[in-house]
Amino acid sequence: MIARVVRAQGARGMRQYYLEGMDGYEFEDMCAEILRHRYQCDCDVTSRANDGGKDIIVRAMPPIYVECKHFGEAKAGRPIIQKLHSAMETAGARGMVIAPSGFSSQAASYIKENGYDITLVDFELLKSWASDAGISVKYQRPVVSEYDVYAPAAPAESIPDAIRKKTRGDAAFEVEVLESKKEISYARLFSITIDKKFFTNDGSGVTHHVSVSKQAMSPDMYGGPLARVGREPGERPAEEIADLKREEACMASASIPYINPATGAKRTLKCPVGEKDVDVEYLGRVRFESETATVKVGESVLSARSDCSGVKIDGIGSGFLCASCGKYSSEAGACKKCGRRVCRSCVVKKGLFKWECKRCSG
């Protein structure tokens, strides 16, 4: 008796499945969706009771009887193979067993000894078929608390060092933090995964593997976190996921030049990564700590922000801190004796392009 029919249709956007917590019926529906894409035909999911030794019928030629076993840690054994083969014989069908936990050695040897036309699909093969269909299958859902604290990578005490390095100032200047303030905002955390292989078709054996596994937070226009006001933590931010897929697909796409070893001809392996190849999963909201400080260095007062992406200094371009007067200047000059960078007002000229600071010339 047929319970559900999964119709053949075009591939949609990438979907995410987690085996942990999935019951047997949900597992059958997932397998039917993957097989539909692989064989490009209808897949019938049999009724829950009296399935006759098969869970899915793939309407290929000849048909394929599929038994799905979502055991957790237990491996599929020989009795399952025997039961499936009995159902196959009466219909002249091929067979398939899908078991993410794998198969016992007795099951594999039993198929080989009897020459049965039964395909064994473990987790790695199932994941590969799913990826081809634009589906991501994982064992466990990432565990992220509702608010994970991301402390600043560069704390307040390192802001003076960052300012001195950025302005290339003299180490003799005292750096004083006039005011500092801590801030807390909230951002959305995502996991990004790409796993796709490209192969040449000219027999050269050149391959390119795109493998990306990282986390990203929703950024604002300045590169920091953005507090999504009015949204609940459990909401799925579809627009942000779509944006991340487009960005990551664009960055991961490449063209790899190579030389065919047989002919010596120069070729290019095009490796386009599409949005359906990018798996973006919303993990939840995180609490994001940052610190802003007003710092006096020499005669200059600067503002800086420290967060997990580093230290950002307001108003600092390509200028420098004068080693003589301590003022911030965009006009550079270097003393020929001590090598310190000084502003134009602190330079004493000793001929064309021969400058000395007031300290050395005095």
What's the domain count of the chain?
3
**327-342 pLDDT tens trace:** 666 665 677 777 777 7
One domain, residues 26 and 97 = yes
Is residue 319 very low, low, confident or very high in pLDDT (cuts 50, 70, 90)?
low
Query: Is 173 contained in some domain?
Result: no
Query: Is 76 contained in some domain?
Result: yes
Instruction: Please state the rounded mean pLDDT for residues 211-238.
Output: 55
One domain, residues 8 and 134 = yes
Residue among 185, 170, 258, 180 at smallest CA distance from 218 = 185
Q: Nearest 5 degrees, angle CA 312-CA 291-CA 322?
A: 45
Query: Is 23 contained in some domain?
Result: yes
Query: Is 79 contained in some domain?
Result: yes
One domain, residues 105 and 15 = yes
Per-residue pLDDT at 234: 43
Is residue 120 very low, low, confident or very high in pLDDT (cuts 50, 70, 90)?
very high
One domain, residues 21 and 105 = yes
One domain, residues 104 and 16 = yes
- List, in sequence order, every residue forming a beta bridge with 216; answer none if it has no partner: 190
Amino acid, single-letter form, for residue 38: R
One domain, residues 251 and 330 = no
One domain, residues 106 and 200 = no
Which has the higher per-residue pLDDT, 340 or 169? 340
In this structure, of 7-16, 191-200, 272-281, 292-301, the range with the lowest mean pLDDT score is 7-16
Spell out the residues 6+ positions from residue 268 whose beta carbon is closer than 8 angstroms to its own: 255, 256, 257, 258
Give me the CATH number covering residue 124: 3.40.1350.10
**20-58 pLDDT tens trace:** 878 888 899 999 999 999 999 989 888 876 767 789 999
Q: Which of 249, 279, 309 is the last residue of a domain?
A: 279
One domain, residues 29 and 110 = yes
One domain, residues 354 and 261 = no
- DSSP collapsed to 3 states, 205-266: CCEEEEEEEEEEECECCCCCECCCCCCCCCCCCHHHHHHHHHHHHHHHCEEEEEECCCCCCE
Query: Is 143 contained in some domain?
Result: no
One domain, residues 12 and 134 = yes
Query: Is 287 contained in some domain?
Result: no
Query: Is 44 contained in some domain?
Result: yes
* Residue range of the domain that includes 336: 320-362
Query: Is 199 contained in some domain?
Result: yes
pTM value is 0.46
